[in-house]
Structure 1
Amino acid sequence: MSALHVAAVLIFLTGLAHSVLGERYILIRLFRRDNLPPLFGGTSFTTQTLRFAWHITTVAWWGFALLLWQAASGALTVRGMLEVLGYTSVLSGLLPLVLTRGRHLSWVVFFAVGAIVLWWPRV
């Protein structure tokens, strides 16, 4: 296993720990507070926005991990890189779409970026 493989595994595990531990020890405790700003009529939008913003970091790190793994394996091509970035963008868009039921409009941008990158002419 090369150093880049190790880096890929480390950043993947960091993302996993970030989501699991952050949800358990930070987000849950934060959401118990009674002074969250009520956006769009309540705190539900606020909590779900904070939740997707927290976990989107993990999605990005996992995309980085896949790029590192492909580079370490000698399999990273421009098209492969674009596919990883495109699917990472689409997955990033699913978080606000699902968690805020589409009310946080960042999903539109993430989906647009994903579509542009995935449908870019083959290099």
Structure 2
Amino acid sequence: MLIIAALLLVLCGLLHSILGEVYLLRRLFKRDNLPQLFGSDQFTKGTLRFAWHITSLAWFGFAALLVLMPDAKILLLTVSIVSAGSAIFAVYYTRGQHLAWLVFAAISALTLTTAMGV
């Protein structure tokens, strides 16, 4: 079950970075009204891009931990709680239209089920 959860996290991270870059960030950065910090909008763009992609990096890290430490109950519970929170946020803030909530709910269920068996 953890391998499936890890693969879902990697897939989610890849799609998040690629689709977010193509369909959101690039379009956003074409605007001429971004806040100008430190004399230009480059800091703003760099910060937004960094914050966007670091989320994917965190998901890759979660995936690695699930594969490398499958018997650590507290780790599994933490991943389950964070994934459940991510699902709730996705449902709430997009009114269920962003389907990431399904993936995060599945990851939460898979890791919680495994944790209960440890």
Q: TM-score range by the shorter chain?
A: 0.5 to 0.7
**What corresponds to 1:52 in structure 2?**
50
Q: Which structure shows the bigger proportion of residues in helix conformation? A: 2
What code does the residue aligned with 2:29 have?
A: F
TM-score (norm 2): 0.58
**What corresponds to 1:4 in structure 2?**
2
Gaps of 5+ in 2: 76-118
- What are the within-5 Å matches in structure 2 for residues 88-107 of structure 1? none
- Give RMSD over aligned pairs: 1.5
The percentage of aligned residue pairs carrying the same residue is: 59
Q: Residue 40 of structure 1 aligns to a residue in which SS?
A: coil
C-alpha distance in 2 between matches for 1:35 and 1:19: 23
Runs (4+) of structure 1 moved beyond 4 Å?
none
Aligned to 2:34, which of 36, 39, 52?
36
- RCO higher in structure (CA 8 A, sep ≥6): 2
**What corresponds to 1:65 in structure 2?**
63
Gaps of 5+ in 1: 82-123
Q: How many residues align?
A: 73
C-alpha distance in 1 between matches for 2:42 and 2:69: 41
